[in-house]
């Protein structure tokens, strides 16, 4: 069968979703999971945009060895040089450079003539090729570009050394049949097209990103660009999990195969959802919690008799564990270690002892510890914990002004812990707690985003809070998990504070 390559841009286009702010450790965790998932290319970021993006791309390039690592760059020397610096230690590096080709973009955004765009594209590809063998060239807003012009610029890019040509539906404008015909025309008119891979990058503004990508596969492209859970600008990108399972389930139509390990889909989706703070809608195809749920009596009867009556793919095929891992306060080290191994979670002996203690504390609050709980417990800490939570106390009621008292441990320059305590009023218990923390650090944070979700099912599920907080002119994300919503909220805010302290953007100004 013909092979389709998966180009994942969760860490670049996906992170551009409003409210998503991933740190280096979180990006690396996602990248390592994408490697397990079997994607062919990870677009790790846009290095020229910030120091943080540059550092995260560099770390991923060094740590991920079995997947091509791509860095995005505009058709500009500074961008391309910075991209090369970030990915130079990669086992298989790729520079992905782009320039807009539609009349509306050239006239109003670039303010360049078509000939000037051709020259800039040629220069960019040649410069990128002098750095790496693998160069991808994208014609931004291709679906609203002239076919003959695209054939010219793509032919030029091939001569300049491009190895992959990408045809983006940047604003989600195309219709599936139209897009397939459009691609066929480009492939027919581009000189040297047989020497390169042809790719598509589809956005979901009209809900057609997956449909357009599949139409492109039918038209003969070799690479599809996508994101986990369909994250991305505006309405997002083509969802990796939907594309993978469509090609897997309907091999009879597409006659293609890929490297995607479908049993890693559920785990990958969950990790991206938790770290990004972007909840998965219950009726989301493939990975939504209702994707394999049946409430109708007719459906239940059919599934009990034969699953294929109402399920076109099995939960097991995407790694969806329908059973709860039964662990509780009486579970021993061996049972927990075995459960971690079964989930593919690697934990060092040193880290395991701390995890075991955390497990016991959690088990006192919950009847059953689930797989989702174990994932949360094993998440890698990122910044140094300058401040840690000692205790919290809330006084609230319908006739009371919510008041919070927060006690934190602060590790001072002598490496000793000093206790810092403050109380504050707020419009609600969480707001009061955040104001008390602000009093402790002597800096007022501005809460930009607050998200709460349960990380598993049941009345004793842990709550996970994700926040984005602005200190001075810089935004920091934080995440906290606890069976108590207020405690999870405090932990999330504290993580954002610790990240700001770690970067040196704020200093504790105790009064």
- Helix or strand run (H / E) with residue 400: strand 400-411
Q: What is the arithmetic mean of pLDDT over 61-65?
A: 97
In 194-269, where do the E strands start and end? 197-202, 223-226, 256-257
CA dihedral sign, ordered 267, 40, 80, 172: negative
More confident residue, 76 or 355: 76
Q: What is the pLDDT of residues 305-320, one digit of tens each?
A: 776 787 788 888 888 7
CA 116 – CA 75 distance, rounded (Å): 12
As a whole number, mean pLDDT of residues 464-474 equals: 83
Which one is predicted more confidently, 465 or 61?
61
Give the mean model confidence (pLDDT) for residues 413-442: 89
Angle between helices 371-378 and 333-342 (to 10 degrees): 90
Instruction: Determine what percent of the chain is predicted with pLDDT higher than 90.
Output: 62
Q: 382 pLDDT exceeds 60? A: no
pLDDT band at 68 (very low <50, low <70, confident <90, very high): very high
CA distance 256 to 312: 18
User: Is the predicted pLDDT of residue 323 greater than 50, yes or no?
Assistant: no
* pLDDT score at 5: 98
Residues 6+ apart with CB under 8 A from 279: 273, 451, 453
Taking residues 463-480, what's their average pLDDT? 82
b/e map of 402-440 (b: 16 or more CB within 10 Å)?
Answer: bbbbbbbebeeeeeeeeebebebebeebbbbbbbbbbbb
pLDDT for 351 equals 84
Residue of higher predicted confidence among 357 and 367 = 357
The pLDDT tens digits of the residues spanning 275-299 come to: 888 888 888 999 987 777 654 556 5
| Distance, CA of 176 to CA of 271 (rounded, Å) | 31
What mean pLDDT do residues 57-81 have? 98
Q: What is the pLDDT of residue 184?
A: 98
Question: What was the pLDDT predicted at 511?
Answer: 47
* Pairwise CA distance, residues 73 & 57, whole Å: 12
Residues 118-145 pLDDT 10s? 999 999 999 999 999 999 999 999 999 9
Report CA-CA distances (Å) from 41 to 171, 183, 228, 271. Answer: 23, 22, 13, 19
What is the pLDDT, as a whole number, of residue 435?
A: 95
- Superfamily covering domain 387-503: Alpha-isopropylmalate synthase LeuA, regulatory domain (3.30.160.270)
- Rounded Cα gap, residues 236 and 245, in angstroms: 18
Residue 477 pLDDT greater than 80, yes or no: no
Confidence of residue 199 (pLDDT cuts 50, 70, 90): very high
Q: Which residue has the higher pLDDT, 25 or 385?
A: 25
Sign of the dihedral defined by the CA atoms of residues 382, 383, 387, 393, in that order: negative
What number is the average pLDDT over the span 388-394?
Answer: 93
- The whole-chain average pLDDT of the chain stands at 89
Domain 2-276 has CATH 3.20.20.70: yes
- pLDDT greater than 80 at residue 487: yes
Per-domain residue ranges of the chain: 2-276, 333-378, 387-503
| DSSP 8-state code for residue 284 | -
Provide the pLDDT for residue 386.
Answer: 84
pLDDT at 223 over 90: yes
Highest mean pLDDT among 134-138, 343-347, 365-369: 134-138
- Consecutive H or E run containing 431: helix 429-441
Helix then strand then coil, % of the chain, to nearest 5 = 45, 25, 35
pLDDT at 310: 74
Round to whole Å and give the CA distance between 427 and 462: 24
pTM: 0.74
Instruction: State residue 290's pLDDT score.
Output: 78
């Amino acid at each position: 069968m013909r092979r389709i390559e998966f180009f994942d841009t969760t860490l670049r286009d996906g992170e551009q979703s409003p409210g998503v702010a991933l740190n280096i450790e979180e990006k690396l965790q996602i990248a390592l999971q994408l490697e397990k998932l079997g994607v062919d290319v990870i677009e790790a970021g846009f290095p020229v945009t910030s120091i943080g993006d540059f550092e995260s791309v560099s770390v991923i390039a060094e740590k991920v060895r079995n997947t091509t690592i791509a860095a995005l760059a505009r058709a500009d020397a500074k961008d391309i040089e910075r991209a090369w610096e970030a990915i130079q230690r990669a086992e298989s590096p790729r520079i992905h450079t782009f320039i807009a080709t539609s009349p509306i973009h050239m006239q109003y955004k670039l303010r360049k003539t078509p000939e000037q765009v051709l020259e800039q594209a040629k220069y960019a590809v040649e410069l990128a090729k002098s750095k790496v063998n693998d160069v991808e060239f994208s014609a931004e807003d291709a679906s609203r570009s002239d076919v003959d012009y695209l054939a010219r610029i793509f032919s030029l890019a091939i001569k300049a050394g491009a190895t992959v040509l990408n045809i983006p539906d940047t604003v989600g404008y195309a219709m599936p049949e139209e897009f397939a015909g459009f691609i066929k025309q480009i492939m027919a008119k581009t000189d040297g097209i047989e020497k390169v891979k042809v790719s598509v990058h589809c956005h979901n503004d009209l809900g057609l990103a997956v449909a357009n990508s599949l139409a492109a596969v039918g038209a003969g492209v070799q690479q599809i660009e996508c994101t986990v859970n369909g994250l991305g600008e505006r309405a997002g990108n083509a969802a990796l999990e939907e594309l993978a399972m469509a090609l897997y389930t309907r091999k009879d139509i597409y006659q293609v195969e890929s490297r995607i390990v479908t049993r890693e889909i559920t785990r990958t989706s969950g990790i991206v959802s938790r770290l990004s703070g972007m909840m998965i809608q219950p009726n989301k195809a493939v990975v939504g919690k209702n994707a394999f749920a049946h409430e109708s009596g007719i459906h239940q009867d059919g599934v009990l008799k034969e699953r294929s009556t109402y399920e076109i793919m099995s939960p097991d095929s995407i790694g969806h564990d329908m059973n709860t891992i039964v662990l509780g306060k009486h579970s021993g080290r061996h049972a927990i270690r075995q459960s971690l191994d079964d989930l593919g979670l690697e934990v060092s002996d040193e880290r395991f002892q701390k995890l075991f203690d955390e497990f016991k504390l959690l088990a006192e609050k919950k009847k059953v510890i689930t797989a989702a709980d174990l994932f949360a417990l094993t998440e890698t800490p990122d910044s140094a914990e300058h401040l840690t939570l000692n205790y919290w106390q809330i006084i609230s009621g319908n006739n009371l002004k919510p008041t919070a008292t927060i006690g934190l441990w602060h590790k001072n320059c002598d490496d000793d812990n000093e206790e810092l305590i403050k109380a504050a009023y707020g419009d609600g218990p969480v707001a009061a707690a955040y104001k008390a923390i602000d009093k402790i650090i002597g800096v007022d944070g501005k809460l930009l985003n607050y998200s709460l979700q349960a990380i598993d099912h049941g009345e004793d599920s842990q709550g996970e809070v994700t926040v984005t907080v602005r200190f001075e002119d810089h935004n920091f994300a934080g995440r906290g998990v606890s069976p108590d919503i207020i405690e999870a909220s405090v932990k999330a805010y504290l993580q954002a504070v610790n990240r700001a302290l770690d970067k040196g953007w704020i200093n504790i100004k105790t009064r």
